[in-house]
Every structure is written in C-alpha cells, then in structure tokens.
Chain A
Amino acid sequence: MASKAPKPDLATLQKKAEARALNFFYGKKQALKNITLPVFDRRVTALIGPSGCGKSTFLRCFNRMHDLYPGNRYDGEIRFFPDDLNLLGADVDPIEVRMRLAMVFQKPNPFPKSIFENVAYGLRIRGVKQRSLLMDKVEEALSSAALWNEVKDRLDEQANNLSGGQQQRLCIARALASEPEMLLFDEPTSALDPIATASIEELIHQLKDKVTILIVTHNMQQAARVSDFTAYMYLGDLIEFGWTDDVFFRPTNKQTEDYITGRFG
C-alpha cells in the first residue's frame, strides 16, 4: 500500500482536478455515466475495472483526446485547479489542456526520431529553440524518467532501437519534459515484461511528489502497489472510490469486492 501513515481526512486534501457529473458518448452510445470523482493533488489515483468499463475513456477526457475523432460528446465538467478551469468547456482550447496535462500511452509510441528529439519535441512546439536550454531540459526529463544513465551517450540514436521498457520510460520523459501539472497513464505497462513493469512502477512512486498522476490499469496488484486512491468502474459507472487500502481490503460495495477478490472480471 502506498500510504502507511494515518490517512488524512479527504476534505482537507487539495484537489488537482474533479470530474463532476461527467457523461460521455461515442455517437449514441453512452460510455460514461454521471461520474463524479476527485483527483487529489500530487497523489496517484488508479482507475480499475474490467475491459470496456470506461476507465480509458474517462482518462482520455482529461486531455480531450476524444476531440480528435468526430461524433464524440462530453456532458458535465472536469474542474482543474488551482484556476478552477473546466477542461471540457467549449471555450477552452484542447491544445491548451494538452499543454498542461501530459499522457503516456498503453503501447510505447516514440516518434521515429532520435532519443533527444523525442524528449525535446514538447519543448520545441512550445517555442524553445535555444540548444543549451533544450539540452538541460532533456537531461532533467530523462533523469526523472530513470533513463538518463542508459542513454546519455547515445542521444542521437533512433528511439526505436531502445527496448520496450526503455521506450516507455522515454515516453514518460517526453511527457515530463514540458513540466505538466498532471500525468495521465493509460495502462502504461500492459505491453511490458515484469522487470520493465517494476521499473515503471518505481518511477511512478518517485514522480508523485512532483506531479499528480491518474493511471488506468488492468492489473489490480499494480493499482494496489502504486496508488493512493482507487476508483472501481463498471460499465461506465463509478462503483466505488476511496483510499486504495480501503477499496482493496474494506470495499463497501459487493461488486467491487467480487472484482477485487477475482470472482469476476
């Protein structure tokens, strides 16, 4: 369990974001039903649930990835703090949202460019041109992603030559380079072997002091290992949310208990 210390009262915790009565539709099909869920500042919140429960759909609302495809519709809001901005607001530019919240995908997806260019890309599109500044930021991001020592001598090599686990850490570095306020992980270890998975989980542990993390995972042990809070979703509904050890050891909902104890899902 991530937190051994006595748990503070939820009301006293600072929120980084909060979904309020969020509904989401793929065309006519409703994928999220009236979800209200806080994401606490510099904590790890895990989204679990069986396939098709809407956890990835929910995650992708935060950086407006659904805007890229026609026919998708949001209803409700996601408040983002400290400025209390509605991320889903019609007047809020999705590009601005994506500049503040970074995402790490299920399968490592480095650009077919050099290691350096991958990490520098977010900075480049933010107008950073100065080579020395880029270099500093790239080193910092790669160090934060625990990859610097492995790649510092070959920054100009193609990113595709790295192993799967290294590629995923590179994607994390790429996301970190532009100092996002919140990191969205969409099953970041599902394509990785156990050793690479362990290194990513370790990384998530280290990152949560700096950045708020929302992570979707198929793997319940992973949720238990890395998160402070867990939300269990089923068929587009949020079934249960709370401190991770409460959800795992003292679930209040029978459905959650069945899922966690492996009776279904």
Chain B
Amino acid sequence: MNSTPTRDLVQVRSMIAAHKRRDIAFAVLGFAALTLCFVTFVALFVDMLVDGASRLTADFFTSFASRRAGQAGILAAWVGTFLLMLVTAAVAVPIGVASGLYLEEYAPRNRFTAIIEININNLAGVPSIVYGLLALGMFVHTFGLGASVLTAGLTLGLLILPIVIVATRESIRAVPGMIREAAYALGATRWQMVRHHVLPYSMPGILTGVIIGLSRAIGETAPIVTIGAVTFIAFLPPAPLTAAPPFVSFEWLLSPFTAMPIQIFNWTSRPEVAFQQNASAAALVLVGMTLLMNAIAIWLRYRLRRNLKW
C-alpha cells in the first residue's frame, strides 16, 4: 500500500483541526461559566465572613435575640429552624415517597394520572408565598393550629412535596426492569417487589431529593412570615422529652417559633451596623447548616450506593 499523503488527506486534517478548535472553544466557555459561578459564591461567602466572623462566638449560639446587637444571638432561631426541618421532613418524606411510589408502580396510565403528574410538576413552580397564604387560611385559621412549629412544618412540607415526589419517581424509574422481573418471577407480590427491591435500591436518589427539598425549605422566609412566625422571641419551644411520664411531649409542635431566615431578615432591616454584622454571622450559620445537611446526604448516598450495580 502506498501511503503518500494526498491532497484529500490534507483537507481532512485541516477539517479535524477546525473541529478541534471548536472543541477547545467550548471548553474555555464552559470553564469561564463555571468560574463565574464559583467566584460569585466565594465573593458572597467572603463578604459574609468579613462582616460576621467576629460575631461567631459560643454566646452567639446560646443567646436569644436582644435590643443590643452585641448581646443578641440566634438560639431561638437555630432551634426553631432545626425543629422546623424535622417536621418538614416528617411531613414531606412519607407523603412524597408514597405518592411517587404509587404513581410509578401502581397507578394505571390514564388521563387522570396524567393530569395529576402535570399538576405535580406545576406545583414545583408555585411561588412559596402562595403556600404561605394557603397555610394561613387552612392551618392557622381553619384548623386553629396558630403560628406554630407544626403549621410552618406542614407548610414547608407541602412546599417541598413536589420535589420529593419527582426525585422519588426518577430514582424508582432508574431501577432496571430486569430486577423487577426477577423478583416477580420468583413469585413476589407487587408490594414485596417494592418493599424488598425498588424502595431500597432507589433510596439514595430519594434521599438526594429530600435533601434538595430541605435545602430549599431551610432558607424559605416568605411562607413562614405569612403564617405569622414571631420575629422576636426569647424562649425555646418546650422540650420533646420530659422528666415525668409519658416522657415524650409534643407541646413543642404548637409552640410559637422563629427561624434563621426570619432572624436574618429582621436584623438586616435594622439601620445599625452591628445588627448587619449579626445578620452576616447568622447567614453564615444558615449556609453552614445547609452544607452540613448536604454533606450528610452525600455520605449516606455514598454508603447506600456502594453496592448498587446492575
């Protein structure tokens, strides 16, 4: 074979070079976009750090809000946010996972379920203040639950329900059909198949969805302001564990509360510089809480996914 480069080959090479230039052009563009995101985040974070770092003392975490910026802390706020997340998860996880499972594994494919599916996707786009208004009318007034931890948890739970449902459905769909068939072929009922296979194998994905939902809920201000969360509070909700039988108390659910975003919003609206510093410090804590939640999720996901291969 004679392999003298021909005129055609020269053309092919210049064409390949042109294609590669575009490849590089996109890589540069993508990297620039990524850098922009990253720099923005770092700038925000550093700004908060510069303003608020000096306020991040142990006292800041163990003090209630105060008229004097130097003595004010976020005790009520972080405890409130923590409890709020518990209730939100307790509401959104069972309902969301059950709905997602039902839609994927049980519901017949007909017009009715199609309408429900479209609505769930639409719900994810409803502004959060609308949920606040709904909660004000339903939970606060009709059910008389007041501006409580329970009301706020139910509201945020509803808010993130679509996120949990969509994540559940997607991770359920990722379980291969041949695994389902293997279980059915051995004589499993649908519930056994779901309980022993689909649910455990899709757990990492569901968990991710739950955390994404909670990360959204933790920063929500509008709906909990709407239902009337207190902005200045100098007590904690009653403890869930008590010294006297039955040792468990659910009074905290009906207690008034405040939360991190509300505290931050409250401090930001004050003119004094010292309160602005408090706001920055509290925002740092809020970001820290979110990152911690994500870190736990990543770790759990890694552990659960280790054995999942098809």
Q: Which residue of B lies closest to A117 (CB)?
A: B196
B244 shortest CB reach to chain A, Å: 40
Beta-carbon contact of B181 and A98 below 8 Å: no
Report which residue of B178, B182, B187 has the largest number of chain A beta carbons within 10 angstroms of its beta carbon: B187
Beta-carbon contact of B178 and A105 below 8 Å: yes
Interface of A, secondary structure class, is mixed
Beta-carbon contact of A125 and B185 below 8 Å: no
Contact with A along B199-220 (1 / 0, CB 8 A): 0010000000000000000000
Q: Which residue of A lies closest to B178 (CB)?
A: A109
Beta-carbon contact of A122 and B182 below 8 Å: no
Give the number of chain B interface residues (Cβ < 8 Å). 23
Q: Which residue of B lies closest to A126 (CB)?
A: B187
Q: How far is the CA of A198 from the CA of B129 in the complex (A)?
A: 66
Beta-carbon contact of B187 and A99 below 8 Å: yes
Which residues of the other chain, B, contact A88 by a CB distance below 8 angstroms? none
- The 8 Å CB contact of B184, one of A98, A111, A178, is A98
Considering only residues 272-310 of chain B, those with a C-beta below 8 Å from chain A are 307-310
Interface residues of B (CB under 8 A from A): 108-109, 176, 178-189, 192, 196-197, 201, 307-310
A47 CB–B CB distance under 8 Å: no
Q: How far is the CA of A31 from the CA of B71 in the complex (A)?
A: 79
Beta-carbon contact of B310 and A121 below 8 Å: no
A131 shortest CB reach to chain B, Å: 18
Q: Which residue of B lies closest to A157 (CB)?
A: B307
- 10 A-B pairs in the complex with CB atoms less than 8 angstroms apart: A68-B181, A95-B188, A98-B184, A105-B185, A107-B178, A109-B182, A111-B183, A113-B307, A125-B186, A126-B187
Beta-carbon contact of B186 and A175 below 8 Å: yes
- The 8 Å CB contact of A102, one of B186, B188, B196, is B186
Report which residue of A99, A107, A121 has the largest number of chain B beta carbons within 10 angstroms of its beta carbon: A121
Closest 6 CB pairs of A and B: A99-B187, A103-B185, A109-B178, A122-B186, A160-B309, A98-B187
Q: Which residue of A lies closest to B180 (CB)?
A: A68
- The 8 Å CB contact of B307, one of A68, A160, A175, is A160
Q: How far is the CA of A95 from the CA of B185 in the complex (A)?
A: 8
Beta-carbon contact of B185 and A112 below 8 Å: no
A213 shortest CB reach to chain B, Å: 15
Which residues of the other chain, A, contact B308 by a CB distance below 8 angstroms? 112
